[in-house]
Structures are given as C-alpha cells and as structure tokens.
Structure 1
Amino acid sequence: MYFLETAIVLFIGAFLLTYLTIPKIINVVEYKRLMDKPNQRSSHTSRTPTLGGIAFFYTLVFALFFIRGRDAFDEAIYIIPGLTILFIVGLKDDLVVISPGAKLIAQVFAIAFILSNPSFTIGSLNGFLNINEIPYYLYLIIGGFMMLTIINSYNLIDGIDGLASVVGIVILVIYTTIFYLTEEYFFALISITMNASLIAFLGFNLSSEKKIFMGDTGSLIVGFIISILTLKFLALKPHVYTDLPFLLENAPLIAISILIVPLFDTARVFAIRIANKKAPFSPDRNHTHHVLIDYWGLSHKQASFIIGCFNLLFVMLFIVLGSTAKNLGMVIMLVSVVVLLSYIFFKYNYNITTLKQKIMLKRRVDKIKAKVESKNDTRKNKKKVDQDTKAKE
C-alpha cells in the first residue's frame, strides 16, 4: 500500500514538473534561436525547438532524491553521474553537433558507473541455451555492449513525432510491471517517473502550436534508463521469477522482445548502410518509420501508434509463449519473425528506391522533351518569321 501511494505521488509530481516546465524551455529556445533546422532527411519542414530532454534530466534527479533509501545497493548514487554525463553530451550535440566517436566515449564512461555496482551483476543466464555461470569479465563485456546497443538504438528511432515517446512508454510500462511483481520497488519507481515525463512530453511533441523535440539530450537519457532497467531485469535472482508469468530461462528473450522495435530498426538500418558501403552511423531515411511514412503514406501519429502497438503485442506474445515454451523454440520463432520483417522492409526499401529512380528518370525525360519542344517551337517561329518577311518583300 505504501508503494502505491508513493507511486501515485511520484507519477503526478513527475508529470506536472515536466508538463509545466517544457513551455518555459520552448520560450527560452525560441528566444535564443536554438531551434532544430530541417534538412533533406528531416520529417518536419519548419524550425522547431529542441532540448525537451532537459526536463527529463532534472525530473529524474529530483525523483532519485526522494526515493533514495529504497535502493539496497545505493544504485541512485551510481545512476546520477551517468545521467549527468549523457545530459551534458546530449545537450552539446543538440547545440553543436559532435562526432559519433565522442558520444560513444561518453556513453562508455556513463555505463562504467552502472557496471561497477554489484546490484547489476549478471552471474548466470539461468540455463538460456544451456548457459549458466558467467565470469565477471564476460559480464562486463556483455553488459557494456548491451547498454551501448540499447542507448544508441533508442537514439536512432527518435526520427518522427511521437515515436520515441510511444515506444518508451510501452517499454517502461512493461518494466514497471516486472519490477512491481518482483518487489524491486526502486526500479519500478524509476520506470514510473520516466514514464510520467514521457507522457507529459508526448502532448507537446505531437502539438502543432507548442511543438518540441526531446533531442539527443532526451533520447540519450531515456535510452540510458531503459538500458539500466534491462540490465537489472537480467540480473534478477532466480527466486524472484516465481512471480513472473514466464520461465526463468526465457528472460533474455523476453528482454529482446521488449526492445524489439529499437533493436530491429537499428540492425536493419546498419545492414542497409554497410551493404551500401556507408558508415553505420551515417544519416539517411531508411528507418522503419520512414518506410511507413514514405511508402505507405502514413502520418507521424499513425506510424508511431502502429509501431507502439506492434511492440506491445510482440511482448505479450513472447510472454505467453515464454510461460511454457523452451528457449530454443522461442529463439527459432524470434529469428523467423526478424527474417520475415527484414524481408518485408528490405522489399519496401527496394521498392522505394526503384520508385525514386523511376521518378528521377521521368523528370529527366520530361526535361529532354521540354527542351526538344522548345527548340521545335523556336524553329517554327523562325520559319514563320522568314515566311512573313518574304511575303512582305
């Protein structure tokens, strides 16, 4: 009962703090002319305020202050430095673009604080693919790589209005439920706080009058929190899984299903870029949400809603299957779904490329025809003038 009261107060407080301060951020950004300038890849056409993630940062810091003491291993003290590092880097990247390498180094430092806390240590995969004990050095490698992947995957899906917020809300609702059932109330309250901020932000992100983007400041912070929750989920002790509706050995697959949208989109985009001999972090419009908008003609809201619903349904399906199915069968199913989705979206990507090529070819043909017609008209006019001149003579 005490948890429920704290959760309600924390949710309302985080929501109001984000909702009431974002307009102030918008006013400052507009006054200082720090708006995001659209380019050929942008899904928006006008200069739009960014830096919405500033509200996420101080809301989380306040929340961590009020829920301190609930963390058995003083996790809050380890989370705040990592949050601060990513906040500073994200803020700088929103104001003055920095290189992917610099961001990656900052992420490594932020992640190091989390990995050094014993609460997040993954000592076993509990029989997943017959893997049990994990050496500490291997945990550092796996945990660090996993957190880097999640942070950057979430950062990459922030490409259209509402998508990052909707996907984040779905993921955080699931983690809130998991940590509530396992009585890890500290992490449940962090999930609730982050969710409240995203819900408050979503209204502004979808607004046509008071629009704002979360920017790298926001996406790095949200991705960091989600990566922490994922690491903690995989580090849960075996006895707590008795209250969860899936088998202990299926936990890694459940984590992948929760993060299926950012992970699939990142893997797909990286594969396309590498196939085209481009750097993995080079910008383009090959993301899944771009396909839905450019090829299917969906609006930002429709694309975000469809992707969010897919994420939720995918997780529910894997939780149901994970309650009885062995992990090998679930791995086969997961691979099959990913291959199917990859085929569909690669096909659409090919069709979009072909369509663009046809449009460009048609434009070239039209230009050539226009030039030929112009020359013919010039010749006809000249011939007519010559005939008129001879007639006068």
Structure 2
Amino acid sequence: MHILYFFLFFVGAYILTYLTIPKIIGLVEHKKLMDQPNKRSSHIKITPTLGGISFFYTLIFALFFLKGWDKYDEAIYFIPGLTILFIVGLKDDLVVLSPYTKLIAQLVSILFILSNESFMIHSLNGFFGVYEIPIYVYYIVGGFMMLTIINAYNLIDGIDGLAAIVGIVILMIYTTIFYITNEYFYVLLCLTLNGCLIAFLSFNLSSSRKIFMGDTGSLIVGFIIGTLTLKFLALSPESYDSLPFLLENVPLIAISILIVPLFDTARIFTIRLANKKSPFSPDRNHTHHILIDYFKISHKQASFIIGGFNLIFVIIFILLGSSSYNFYLVLILIITVILLGYLFYRFDYSFTNIKRKIIFRNKIDIFKSEVKKGGEKLMPKTKKKRKSK
C-alpha cells in the first residue's frame, strides 16, 4: 500500500510541475520578468526565472494530503515557513533584496520548524562523548544549521542543472534513510520535492525552454533539505538501529550528505573574508565556476560531476561509518576538505595569473605571426630592389 502512495506522490508532483512550468515561462516572458545576464552570469542571454513557484504550490498541495501521515502535526508547521520564503524569494527574483532582509525571513521561517517537538534534538548519541544536550543548545545549533543549509543550497544555484541535481541526490539519500526508519511522512515529502526537481531539470537543461528556479526555488528547496537534516539528527536511538552505520556517526553522515553545498559555502566565505569583502558579496569563485572556466566543460557536465561526487562521497562515508568511530571519520573528513580546499585554492589564486599568462602568451604569438607575415611581405620587395640596382 505504501508503494502506491510513494508512486502517486512522486508522479503527481512530477506531472503538476512539468505541466505548469511552461505556463510560468509564458507569463514571465509576457511580463518581461526575465533574468538579465551580467559579468558574473554563466549564461549569455536573457532567461525566464521563477521556476521555484511550481515547487511552492506542489508542496502545499502535497502537505494537505500528507497531514494524516505526520505524527506531530509537522505538515502545518511547514506551511508558514514555506510561505515566508516563497514571498521573500519571489520578491528577490523580481527586485533584489539585501542579504540581511533574506536572513531575517529565514530565521522567522526556521522558528516554526524548531518549535515542533518532532525536530527537537535531545542527544548526540555519543558523538565525541556528547550525549544529552540542553534545550537552548538545540535551538542555537538547530537554527544555525538550518540557516547554513538554506544559504549553502542557495549559493550553489549558479549553473544549469547543479542545484537540481545536487538536490535530487540529497533527497534520494534521505528518502532511503526515512524509508528504512519507517518515517513515511518524510519519505513522501522527499518524493514530492524530487518529482518537482526532476521535472524542473528537463527545462533547466533545455536550450529552447530554459527556466531558472531562482531564489524562489532555491530557498524553498534549501529549507526542506535543512528540515530533513534536522529530522535525521532528531530520530530516536531505536530508529538508528536499522541504519547501516554506527549511532555516534550520525552527525558526520549528515555532513557527508551535504558535502557539496557546505564545502562550497565554507570555501567561498573564506575567500571573500580573506579578500576583506562581505561573505555575501557575489563573485565567480564557486567550485562550479572554476570547473567550467578552468576545464572548459559544459554546465551539464560540471553539474553531473559534482552531483556524482556528492553521491560517491556519501556512499563511502556510510560504508566507513558502519565500522569506524568518530575520530577516524573526522580525520578522513578533515583530510578530504583540506585536499579539496587546497586544490581549489590553487585554482582560485593561480587561475587569474594563469589566465593572464595565457592571454599574454597568445598576444606574443599573434605579434610574432604578424611580424613574420610582415617580414614575408617585405622580403620580395627587398629582392626586387636589389635586382633593380
């Protein structure tokens, strides 16, 4: 019976999103609400945005039918947060808002989730020897974690397909986790949003019917992923018994699931602060920008490479987490982050110099070829003059 519901929610979300996105594209084009490319953009022509509108109403419809599946009335707690982020994201896509306005809206949205008993983290289950945690620590850590995830996901929405593919990978993993732990409300929520993202991806990667999810979509998806992460950490110890990794490794598994947005955000913020800029100031130092700029690969290729890395990294960590304890997993995580950070640090700080060298070398080659051509043109004339003498 559950399989039938899984199928209906996934297919229903896919169809609803797939059929309504063309209407959104038509409206956006008619009202000229297109995304204008700038010097940081990875696209060169004006493109419809606001694809995230379809995520909002699909999730609201799904939550209405999901209200009987939740144990702590979670469905009703999602709606205010989603609505606030939808309005703020929509306005930011139409009229750019300040980062601090969006930050306040995110905090208010997060408070609705934190106030529900289902998401309360009472223990870290022995992670580095920590068990019970005070309620105020839960609010601080839970709020900071969700805020980080929302903004991290928002930041990776920089090239075609990336945010959708990474979102699909993360939701696939959470679907599996919540299915194993019998949390069917969250399984259906994951399948609903995954149906939206897969339908959206076919348009986002299209050359003729392209649309961006915009902040309208990335804030909503980031909010759902943040909430799912909070729920994953708040599961009862008995629920973890059915999962294929040690109980104390749960926080590290959560980090591995979100490795792509978290790593990119940490790296970007570090670079911006090192350059004495605001951490929210836009630039082209993202991991996906370096891949397409340095390796000259397409948006689609870069998105699938990053999404594939995310999936492989999670599988490796789950396998290691089944036998290794905190210290070894943390050591592996730190080494991986340092290696990736150093790799992209080198690209980031030497990329400009390399580019300058290439441009300079090309100019020298052009100059040499022009001199050579000029010499070849002059040589016959010189010979003719010698003959005339």
TM-score range, shorter chain: over 0.9
2:42 and 2:263 mapped to 1: Cα distance?
A: 21
- 2:270 equivalent to 1:264: no
Match of 2:318 in 1: 319
CA distance in 1, matches of 2:342, 2:183: 39
Is 1:333 matched up with 2:332?
yes
Q: Distance in 1 between matches of 2:118 and 2:52?
A: 27
- Distance in 2 of aligned mates of 1:161 and 1:71: 35
Q: Which residue of 2 aligns with 1:386?
A: none
Q: Give, in angstroms, the shift of residue 364 of structure 1.
A: 9.1
Letter in 1 for 2:46: R
Give the C-alpha shift of residue 357 in structure 1: 3.4
Gaps of 5+ in 2: 372-389
5 Å-filtered alignment, 1:268-307, equals: 268-307=267-306
| Aligned-partner Cα distance in 1 for 2:7–2:302 | 31
The farther-off stretch of 349-358 and 29-38 is 349-358
Question: In structure 2, what is the Cα distance between the partners aligned to 1:306 and 1:359?
Answer: 26
Residue deviations 1:74-121 (CA, integer Å, cap 9, x gap): 001110000000000000000000000000000000000000001000
Deviation at 1:327, TM superposition (A): 1.0
**Counterpart of 1:80 in structure 2: which amino acid?**
I
In 2, the alpha carbon distance for the partners of 1:365 and 1:252 equals: 54
Whichever residue aligns with residue 342 of structure 1, its letter is G
Deviation string 1:160-212 (CA, Å, 9 cap, x unpaired) is 00000000000000000000000010011100000000000000000000000
The list of structure 1 runs, each at least 4 consecutive aligned residues, that deviate by more than 4 angstroms after superposition, is 359-367
Q: 1:342 and 1:353 mapped to 2: Cα distance?
A: 17
Q: How much is the aligned-residue C-alpha RMSD, in angstroms? A: 1.6
AA of the residue aligned to 2:219: L
Q: What are the residue-to-residue correspondences of 1:54-65 with 2, within 5 Å?
A: 54-65=53-64
> Aligned equivalents of 1:361 and 1:333: distance in 2?
41
TM (norm. structure 2) is: 0.93
Distance in 2 separating the partners of 1:351 and 1:126: 43
How many residues get paired? 369
Structure 1 residue 349: Cα displacement:
1.2
Q: How many angstroms apart in 2 are the aligned matches of 1:281 and 1:355?
A: 26
TM-score, normalising length: structure 1? 0.92
Task: Tell me the distance in 1 between the aligned counterparts of 2:281 and 2:362.
Answer: 28
Q: Deviations over 1:353-389 (max 9, x none)?
A: 112333566799999x8xxx9xxxxxxxxxxxxxxxx
Deviations 1:123-154 (A, max 9, x none): 00000011101100000000000000000000
1:228 — aligned with what? 227
Q: Is residue 122 of structure 2 the alignment partner of residue 123 of structure 1?
A: yes
Partner of 1:251: 250
* 1:219 to 2:242 alignment: no
Q: How far has the Cα of 1:69 moved from its partner?
A: 1.2
1:25 corresponds to: 24
3-state SS of the aligned residue for 1:132?
strand
Q: CA deviation at 1:284?
A: 0.4
SS at match of 1:243: coil
Give me the whole-angstrom Cα distance separating, in 1, the residues matched to 2:87 and 2:53: 10
State the 1:321 CA deviation: 0.4
The corresponding residue for 2:380 is: none
Gaps of 5+ in 1: 374-393
Aligned to 1:384: none
| Corresponding position of 2:48 | 49
In the alignment, the residues of structure 2 paired with residue 51 and residue 103 of structure 1 have an alpha-carbon distance, to the nearest angstrom, of 17
Query: Distance between the aligned counterparts of 2:363 and 2:142, measured in 1?
Result: 52
Q: Distance in 2 between matches of 1:358 and 1:341?
A: 24
SS for the counterpart of 1:58 is: helix
